[in-house]
C-alpha cells in the first residue's frame, strides 16, 4: 500500500475514533452528574441522617412560644411562622408530621457551646459571628427589624427619630441582638436594663420599671395586641448588618448542609415566601425610625 493510500485509509479511522471518544466523554459526564444528584438526595433522606433520635427529627424552640411564631403555645399544631416552617423543613428532609418531635430549649441555652438534644432549633435566633464560633446556622430564613414599644401615655409614643430615645430607660432580654441594637443604633445615655426572659421584659414595661422595651418587630406587634394592650409600637429600625434568623444546629453538625438545602428549596419554589406572608405580614405596619 502506498503512503498516499495509507493516509486515505487512516483519515476515516481516526475520525471515527475521535467521534467514539467524544461520545464516551459526554456519557461519562451525564452519568457523573446524575450520580451526584442521586447521592445528594440519598444523603439527606431520613435513613441516612444522623438525627438525635433514630427515625425522628427533633426540633427545638422556647416555651412559652408566642404568635406569630408559635400559635397557642403549641408548635405541634404547625401554626405560626416557625411552627409551619419547622414542618416544611421536615417535609423537605423526608419526615412526615408524625416523625417530628418538638422539645423545649431556653433561648440562651440554644447557642451555648456543647452537645445538643435537638437536630435544629427555630426561635428567632439571630446569626452573629460570636454565635457562629460555637454553633452552626442554616441559610437565613428571615430578616427582622428591631422595634420600640412604649406605653400609650408616654412622651415617647410620638418619637420620630432614634436620638429622641437617648435619655430613655430601655429594657431588653438577655442574650438577644436587641441589646446590641440598642447600644449601636440608639446609643442611650443610661445602660439598658437587661432581663432574663421575655415575660420579665413585658412586666418591666407594665410596671414602669423602664420607659421602653426593644424586641424584634413581629414580637412587638404581637405583644401590643396581646400582652401589652396599653402599649404602642413607636417605630422600627434596622440594626447594623441586619438581623437575620437561621435554624441553629450543633457545631459541625452533619445535618447542616441538608437543612440548608431544604430551606433553599422552600425559598426557590416560593413556599418560604408563602409561609412568611401568611404569618408575618403585619410587620410592615410600624413607622421607620432613623
* pLDDT tens track for 202-239: 999 999 999 999 998 988 988 998 899 999 999 999 87
- Kindly state whether residue 23 falls inside one of the protein's structural domains: no
Taking each helix axis from N to C end, the angle separating 271-280 and 256-268, rounded to the nearest 10 degrees, works out to 80
- Kindly state whether residue 220 falls inside one of the protein's structural domains: yes
Residue 8: pLDDT over 90: no
Residue 31: pLDDT over 60: no
**pLDDT band per the 50, 70, 90 thresholds, residue 41:** low
| Confidence (pLDDT) at 280 | 86
Residue 130: pLDDT over 80: yes
Residue 19: pLDDT over 60: no
User: Are 108 and 72 part of one and the same domain?
Assistant: yes
- Kindly state whether residue 258 falls inside one of the protein's structural domains: yes
User: Are 171 and 111 part of one and the same domain?
Assistant: no
Domain hosting 133: range is: 47-143+244-284
* pLDDT tens track for 49-92: 999 999 999 999 999 888 889 999 999 999 999 999 999 999 99
User: Are 65 and 132 part of one and the same domain?
Assistant: yes
Q: Can you give the CATH number for the domain in which 268 is found?
A: 3.40.190.10
User: Are 256 and 273 part of one and the same domain?
Assistant: yes
Residue 39: pLDDT over 60: no
How many structural domains does the chain have?
Answer: 2
| Confidence (pLDDT) at 268 | 98
- Kindly state whether residue 116 falls inside one of the protein's structural domains: yes
- Kindly state whether residue 170 falls inside one of the protein's structural domains: yes
Amino acid at each position: 500500500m502506498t503512503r498516499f493510500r495509507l493516509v486515505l485509509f487512516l483519515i476515516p479511522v481516526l475520525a471515527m475514533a475521535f467521534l467514539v471518544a467524544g461520545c464516551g466523554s459526554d456519557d461519562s459526564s451525564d452519568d457523573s452528574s446524575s450520580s451526584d444528584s442521586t447521592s445528594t438526595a440519598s444523603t439527606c433522606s431520613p435513613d441516612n441522617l444522623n438525627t438525635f433520635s433514630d427515625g425522628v427529627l427533633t426540633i427545638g424552640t422556647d416555651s412559652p412560644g408566642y404568635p406569630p411564631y408559635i400559635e397557642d403555645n403549641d408548635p405541634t399544631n404547625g401554626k405560626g411562622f416557625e411552627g409551619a416552617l419547622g414542618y416544611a423543613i421536615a417535609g423537605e428532609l423526608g419526615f412526615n408530621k408524625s416523625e417530628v418531635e418538638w422539645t423545649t430549649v431556653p433561648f440562651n441555652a440554644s447557642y451555648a457551646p456543647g452537645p445538643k438534644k435537638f437536630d435544629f432549633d427555630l426561635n428567632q435566633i439571630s446569626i452573629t459571628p460570636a454565635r457562629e464560633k460555637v454553633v452552626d446556622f442554616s441559610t437565613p430564613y428571615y430578616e427582622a427589624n428591631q422595634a420600640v414599644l412604649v406605653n400609650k401615655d408616654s412622651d415617647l409614643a410620638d418619637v420620630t427619630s432614634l436620638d429622641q430615645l437617648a435619655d430613655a430607660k430601655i429594657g431588653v432580654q438577655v442574650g438577644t441582638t436587641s441589646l446590641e441594637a440598642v447600644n449601636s443604633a440608639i446609643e442611650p445615655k443610661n445602660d439598658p436594663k437587661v432581663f432574663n426572659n421575655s415575660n420579665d421584659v413585658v412586666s418591666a414595661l407594665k410596671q414602669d420599671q423602664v420607659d421602653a422595651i426593644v424586641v424584634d418587630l413581629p414580637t412587638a406587634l404581637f405583644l401590643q395586641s396581646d400582652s401589652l394592650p396599653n402599649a404602642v409600637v413607636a417605630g422600627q429600625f434596622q440594626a447594623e448588618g441586619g438581623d437575620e434568623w437561621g435554624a441553629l444546629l450543633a457545631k459541625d453538625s452533619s445535618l447542616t448542609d441538608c437543612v440548608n438545602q431544604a430551606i433553599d428549596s422552600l425559598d426557590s419554589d416560593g413556599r418560604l415566601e408563602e409561609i412568611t406572608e401568611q404569618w408575618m405580614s403585619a410587620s410592615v405596619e410600624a413607622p421607620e425610625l432613623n
